[in-house]
Amino acid sequence: MKVLLSKPGLDGHDVGVKVLAHGLIDAGFEVVYTGLRKTIEEIVDAAIKNKVDIIGMSILSGTHLVLAKKMNEVMQQKKLNIPWFVGGNIPAKDIEKLKQLGAHNAFPTGSKIADVVNYFNTIKVNV
Amino acid sequence: MNKIKTKKTAEELGVKKVFLESGIEVNPIYTAEDIENSSIKHEIPGQYPFTRGIHPSMYRNKPFTIRQYAGFGSPEETNERFQFLIKNGQTGLNVAFDLPTQCGLDSDDPRAFGEVGRVGMSIDTLEDFEIAFKNIDLDKITVSLTINGTAIIAIAMYIAMAEKNGYNISNLRGTAQNDILKEFIGRGTWIFPVDKSVKLVVDTIEYCAQHVPKYSPVSVCGYHIRESGANPIQEMAYAFCIAKAYSDGALSRGISIDDFASRLSFNFDIYGNLFEQVAKFRGGRRLWAKIIREEYGAKKESSSWLRMIAGGGGGGLTKEQPLNNIIRSSYYALISALSGTQTMALCSYDEAYTIPTEHSAEISLRTMQIMIHEMGICDTVDPLGGSYYVEALTDRFEKEIKEEMKTVEKWNGIINAVATGKIQESVSKQAYEREMGIQNGTVPKVGVNIFVREEESKEVEFHPYNQKAADKQIEKLKRIKASRNNELVKQKLETIRKDAIDDKNLMPSIIEAVKEYATVGEIVQVMKDVYGEFKEPIFF
């Protein structure tokens, strides 16, 4: 099970995404990290190139809806079906909006690493 | 006389061992013996090496400065806010910039979409600075520019705007954050390769030392390094290594240490163990004084002062039971005052999940005011001075910070350690360990993993994004590009290119270019052409 963790947009806060990377590795996942300031196209290309099973995007600047909309467009254009997630400063009321935009789920700041791991494991069963 | 040995260690007393976050073991008891060899006995506040404070009478003379952060979307709103604050008697303001400005992108750049004016003021050209500071008396208000990757352009614009408005720049005051090395470790608004980024910081130090001597061009930030996972020893050690890197650059240009050292200041974080933080600042202040005087040979006393802003770190506050954050922030404020800070800023208790309300911002302000006016914190200098425990720990911190700085030297210096990702790797591992400690309960956090109570989860809120304001900013940019002398702009940009290739100080040519309304994005592009861009080492 391979996960791509990414930082779309201009936000440079990467403590959370790196903490999650460590947590996923300890839980037996393979992790590829894009680094900062990637466009959605670059993230999707990295997902294809690395043949990942899951894409995670970390966004803390409040731009999550703009970026999720773009993600949805690019995924549809490329006819891809990789489950993707958003993590970071996400208001509870936006989780449903993100799902409508095609996100599998969203994990706001304060989510437990174990919860993310468990959720990703249920996807593993489904895949 | 027979000396009876006091039982002092955990082992001797049969109690559990205690370690600080820095890894230092704390004894249950400290006595005079523990500071027998300490230099503290002969130290006086306001005298080298300044362990007890940089001024002789500290807060008795003047309490620390209270400076709270604020961010506004457009230059127009910023100006309104300035006018309001001046009317209410404030004399200083921190200006936050939006991410496109911080990353060197113009508002009309596709990569800026959705970000214009979101987390701070949007700047494309000098006109934005002119709007933001319209009818503001720059002699009366000190402006702090919280910007790093494009700080050289922001400082150039500030100077150009002041010159255009008839100010004598040799008297111009103000500060810029302008600490690019910490951006590579945390926060991430880097643009150019590490060595070129440092060169640009040194350009600003050199230019200011020669032409704007009252301006503070750099505030070195241990704060963000600690928030990224560094322990208190590393926070100080890395900040000092960074400050030394900028200083070495300035010295290599032939400027004397006494011409700029007193304009360097520091921004530090506070959360965690009270005594550990106080010792961190006191030990750090002594070490920094020694570095500047003994290693760099500074003669001027103020050169070796560790001037700092230290306030409550966001890293200590919790979304759970948020009113507890008021209590935490009160302790952070106390720590800051007991450590002899120059300036204090506290996070609002609700900042972990929402836009601070006027009410929560007021509580932060009152926290500091209650301490000043009711708790007697200003009455006497360095009230913890002479405590066996605090002094022993202060000595230990001085030693440990020095050791940690040697580790950075083993990594071939801070510039290399940052370029190769060495520091990023070590702090992110620690951030993970700390987070796991909180999640599995070994790092106790009230309301999070102990004394937990079922509660409604707090809703996270943002300022609503103002697309209309963003569109207006883009229209303004279009109008300026159509009305300025584009031939002249092109010439000025070419001068920047030539100076960059010739490795000259870029401040003069950037000041000339911004005066003709060259944009942030245009200037950054020319610099990227010559310097290239930073290739982020992928570490976690």
Query: Scanning every residue of chain A, which has its alpha carbon at the shortest distance from the alpha carbon of B448?
Result: A110
The alpha-carbon gap from B337 to the nearest alpha carbon of chain A, in Å, equals 29
- Residue B70 is predicted with a pLDDT of 63
Cα end-to-end span (Å), chain A: 10
- Residue B333 is predicted with a pLDDT of 96
**Is the pLDDT confidence value at B94 over 90?**
no
Local structure of A33: helix, strand or coil: strand
- Residue B503 is predicted with a pLDDT of 97
Residues in B closer than 8 angstroms to A39, CB to CB, are 111
Of B54-68, B335-349, B448-462, B482-496, which range is least confident?
A: B448-462
**Is the pLDDT confidence value at B491 over 60?**
yes
Cβ of A110 within 8 Å of Cβ of B319? The answer is yes
Q: Break chain A into its structural domains and give their ranges.
A: 2-126
Local structure of A121: helix, strand or coil: helix
Task: Report pLDDT digits (tens) over B357-371.
Answer: 778 888 998 999 999
Distance between CA atoms of residues B524 and B496, nearest Å: 10
- Residue A127 is predicted with a pLDDT of 52
Of B87-101, B164-178, B290-304, which range is least confident?
A: B87-101
- Residue B196 is predicted with a pLDDT of 98
Q: Which residues contact B499 (CB under 8 A, 6 or more apart)?
A: B505, B506, B508, B509
For range A56-70, the mean pLDDT: 94
Task: Report pLDDT digits (tens) over B57-80.
Answer: 999 999 998 877 665 678 888 888
Distance between CA atoms of residues A113 and A25, nearest Å: 11
The secondary structure of residue B456, as a DSSP letter, is P
In the sheet that A105-108 helps form, which strands lie side by side, from edge to edge? Answer: A30-33, A2-6, A54-59, A84-88, A105-108
Distance between CA atoms of residues B349 and B446, nearest Å: 15
- Residue B456 is predicted with a pLDDT of 75
Distance between CA atoms of residues B520 and B107, nearest Å: 10
Task: Report pLDDT digits (tens) over A112-121.
Answer: 999 999 999 9
- Residue B83 is predicted with a pLDDT of 83
Q: Answer yes or no: CATH 3.40.50.280 is held by domain A2-126.
A: yes
Chain A positions contacting chain B at CB under 8 Å are 9-15, 17-19, 21-23, 31, 33-37, 39, 61-63, 66-67, 89-93, 108-110, 112-114
For range B279-299, the mean pLDDT: 98
HEC profile of B471-530: HHHHHHHHHHHHHCCHHHHHHHHHHHHHHHHCCCCCHHHHHHHHHCCCCHHHHHHHHHHH
Within 10 Å of residue B414's Cβ, how many Cβ atoms?
28
Segment (H or E) for B365: helix B358-374
- For residues A32 and A46, the answer to whether their CB atoms sit within 8 Å is yes
Residues in B closer than 8 angstroms to A23, CB to CB, are 432, 436
- For residues B346 and B333, the answer to whether their CB atoms sit within 8 Å is yes
Distance between CA atoms of residues B102 and B521, nearest Å: 10
- Residue B532 is predicted with a pLDDT of 98
Of A13-27, B307-321, B349-363, B474-488, which range is least confident?
A: B349-363
The alpha-carbon gap from A18 to the nearest alpha carbon of chain B, in Å, equals 5
Q: Taking the C-alpha atoms of B437, B440, B446 and B451 in order, what is their torsion angle to the nearest 10 degrees? A: -160
Question: Of residues B319 and B407, which shows the higher confidence score?
Answer: B407
- Residue B460 is predicted with a pLDDT of 73
Task: Report pLDDT digits (tens) over B443-468.
Answer: 999 999 999 998 877 777 777 788 99
For range B240-251, the mean pLDDT: 98
**Is the pLDDT confidence value at B85 over 90?**
no
- Strands B18-19 and B25-26, how do they pair? antiparallel
CB-facing half-sphere around the CA of B343: CA atoms within 13 A: 17
**Taking the alpha carbons of B52, B54, B55, B60 in that order, is the dihedral positive or negative?**
negative
- Residue A126 is predicted with a pLDDT of 57
Q: Which residues contact B186 (CB under 8 A, 6 or more apart)?
A: A13, A14, A15, B224, B225, B227, B228, B427
Task: Report pLDDT digits (tens) over B209-232.
Answer: 999 999 999 999 999 999 999 999
For range B220-247, the mean pLDDT: 97
- Residue B459 is predicted with a pLDDT of 74
User: Would you place residue B393 in the very low, low, confident or very high pLDDT band (cuts 50, 70, 90)?
Assistant: very high
Structural domains in chain B, CATH included, are: 39-440 (3.20.20.240)
